[in-house]
Structure formats: structure tokens, C-alpha cells
Amino acid sequence: MNHKPLLDYINKYINLTVEEEAILLAKIVHRNYLKDQYIVQQGDICKSANFIISGCTKTFYTNLEGQEHIVMFSIEDWWTSDLGSFITQKPADFNVQCIERTQLIQFTYDNLEELYIEIPKLERLFRKIVERAFVASQKRIIRNFSLTAKERYLIFKENYPKIEQRIPQYMIASYLGITKEFLSKIKNQLIHNQ
């Protein structure tokens, strides 16, 4: 059981004592998912906040016409969940699915509520994590409004240089909010530097 990435990650935000680490480790579960398996499905109640040790997930919404819209990709050292469903314990709006074989650490809702009481410092940890996630989300809204698809694609490549090779084009298009055909056209334009 490899806890190190989680503890290293936590220690960037707060300092846990050895006893606190032990309390925390007693309440987590390691879990392995295969490629294409779902961690959360739209309509389910999201039971866990998940810290990724290895692998990659996509969080997406499927509308009535069956079109997928990807809100985020998550990789090693990041979290994945339907946070809205998790915090309210109501049915999820989003699906979370593994794009690769994924190894993660799960905090169930009840265990995390207990941990907040046993180790109040964790409130600070998660406050800081969600603050950063919120800021990134707001910036994404602005990019979607004020930039063209080509500009958004270039920024995506800059921000996630390693992810692009791991993810099919049509998912990147979905994340950018365009069709796979138009992404294909953009890439062609970039090759012929237009």
C-alpha cells in the first residue's frame, strides 16, 4: 500500500503529527480501477473523495442527446469526485470514469466527516485545495468566453503538456467545448502555421 504520494501532498499544505497520520491512514481505502470503469455515475450518490496515486480520470456530463461534455481531467497527485454530490450526498450530475488503469485512495463521506473532527487541521487542507480549484474554474469560464477555440487549445497544451499524449483527441475536443472535427481542423491549421 503506497501512501507516500498522499502524505507528501498533504504536507505541502499542513503538518500532520505521526499520530495524526496514523489516524488518517486508518480511515482510507486503496482502490484499483481498470480502464473505462466508472468511479461515479450520473444519478448515483457520490460516496467518496478520491486521491489519485496513478492513472487518469475524466469528469463529464452527458446531456439528453447523449453528448459528453468533459469538465475536467484528473491525474496523479490530484483529486477526482463529483464534489457537488459528495458534499450534499444527493444524486450526481457528473460521471467520473477512468481513462487509464487507475490506482487511488478513497475517503468516504462518513470517514471524512469523522476525520474533520479528529484532525481539525484537515479543514484547512481542504479549504485550500478547494480554493485553488475554484480559482482555476473561474479562469476557465473566462477563457471559454474570451478566447477562440484555437487559443484555448494552445493554452491547454501549455498547461497539460504530458496529458495530451495520454488522452484521445475527441476527449480533448470535448474538454475544449468543440467538436473533434473542428479540433482536427485547428491542428491542421497549426501545422501549416496559419
Partner DNA sequence: AATAGATGTTAATCTAGTTTAACTTCATTT
Partner DNA sequence: AAATGAAGTTAAACTAGATTAACATCTATT
Cα–Cα distances in Å, from 47 out to 26, 76, 89, 109?
18, 20, 8, 6
Closer to a second copy by CB, 25 or 130: give it.
Answer: 130
x/- mask, DNA, residues 126-155, rule CB under 7 A, reads ----------------------xxx-----
Closer to a second copy by CB, 81 or 106: give it.
Answer: 81
- Can you read off the three cell numbers belonging to residue 116? 474533520
Specify burial of residue 18 (Cβ count, 10 A radius: 0-12, 13-18, 19+): exposed
Cα–Cα distances in Å, from 105 out to 1, 31, 39, 46, 109?
10, 6, 12, 15, 13
Specify burial of residue 87 (Cβ count, 10 A radius: 0-12, 13-18, 19+): middle
Residue 188 binds DNA, judged by CB under 7 A: yes
Residue 185 binds DNA, judged by CB under 7 A: yes
Residue 182 binds DNA, judged by CB under 7 A: yes
x/- mask, a second copy, residues 48-87, rule CB under 8 A, reads -------------x-x---x-x-xx----------xx--x
Residue 126 binds a second copy, judged by CB under 8 A: yes
Specify burial of residue 192 (Cβ count, 10 A radius: 0-12, 13-18, 19+): exposed
Residue 180 binds DNA, judged by CB under 7 A: yes
Residues near DNA (CB under 7 A) are: 148-150, 168-170, 177-185, 187-188
Binding stretches for a second copy (CB under 8 A): 61, 63, 67, 69, 71-72, 83-84, 87, 93-94, 116, 120, 123-124, 126-128, 130-135, 137-142, 144-146, 177
